Amino acid sequence: MIFGKIEYLNLLPFHIFMKRFTKSSQQKISMHYKKGVPSDINKKFLTRKVDAAFISSISAKKFQHVNLGIIAKKEVLSVLVIPNTKNKKDADSASSNVLANILGVNGEVLIGDKALKYYLQNNDYIDLAKLWNERYNLPFVFALLCFHKDKKLYKNIEKEFLKKEVKIPQYILKIASSRTNIDKKDILNYLTFISYKLDSKAKYGLNCFYKKSFGQHII
């Protein structure tokens, strides 16, 4: 099984869960990983170089997925536009670039850990998830856990992952902090803004995004 792994902080709890899940005596799953940024993992999934991954929602529409995603109920802190600068898309992104177009926000798009770091050090930014929520009163779904095969397996992953909150061991938090140069307390605070369950309201927000993104160019 080849899984596309995006090593952003927003998926840290899921990666910890998967490590335990694949090693459990009940599962004994052989999981291999291909790492990359969202736009890269999207391409690997589309060309079937990976069997499953969190795929940018704008690219996930036609594929099978479970009710797991990367979701912001309101603000997200890690998908920003820096205004008053030249328009610039983030090459790592897909959905966020389209979202900026839909919301009519001009400037430089930043996503992921580098965006979170910018948020923590500056105040000249627009949080795209927050603006989306203010405008439509809906969550924004940035990505969905998609798969090409083994639906039963991924439904089980969904069920087990959503059972209870994943605790992040201090040593893993320390490694993540060292890798990103983001303080441990800021990482933990950031994760409180991320939801993973694709509930009915999130699905409504996703469908709203699909309608508004019709005809948009996808990187």
Q: What pLDDT is recorded for position 219? A: 44
Question: What region does 108 belong to: left with phi over 0, alpha with psi -120 to 50, or beta?
Answer: beta
Q: What pLDDT is recorded for position 92? A: 84
**Residue 16 C-beta-side C-alpha neighbours within 13 Å:** 18
Q: What pLDDT is recorded for position 216? A: 62
Which two tokens mark 144? Answer: 């969905």
Percent of the chain whose predicted confidence (pLDDT) is above 70: 95
Q: In the block, which residue shows the tokens 């087990």?
A: 160
CA 200 to chain centre: 18
pLDDT in tens, 137-152: 999 999 999 999 999 9
Q: In the block, which residue shows the tokens 């927003």?
A: 10
pTM for this prediction: 0.92
Top-tier CATH class for 2-212: alpha beta
pLDDT in tens, 5-29: 998 999 999 999 998 888 765 555 6
- CB-based contact 32:2 (threshold 8 Å): yes
Domain boundaries, the chain: 2-212
Q: Tally Cβ neighbours within 10 Å of residue 65.
A: 21
Report H helices in 6-76.
12-23, 38-46, 57-60
Angle between helices 12-23 and 151-161 (to 10 degrees): 120
- The mean pLDDT of 120-125, rounded to a whole number, is 96
- CB-based contact 129:102 (threshold 8 Å): no
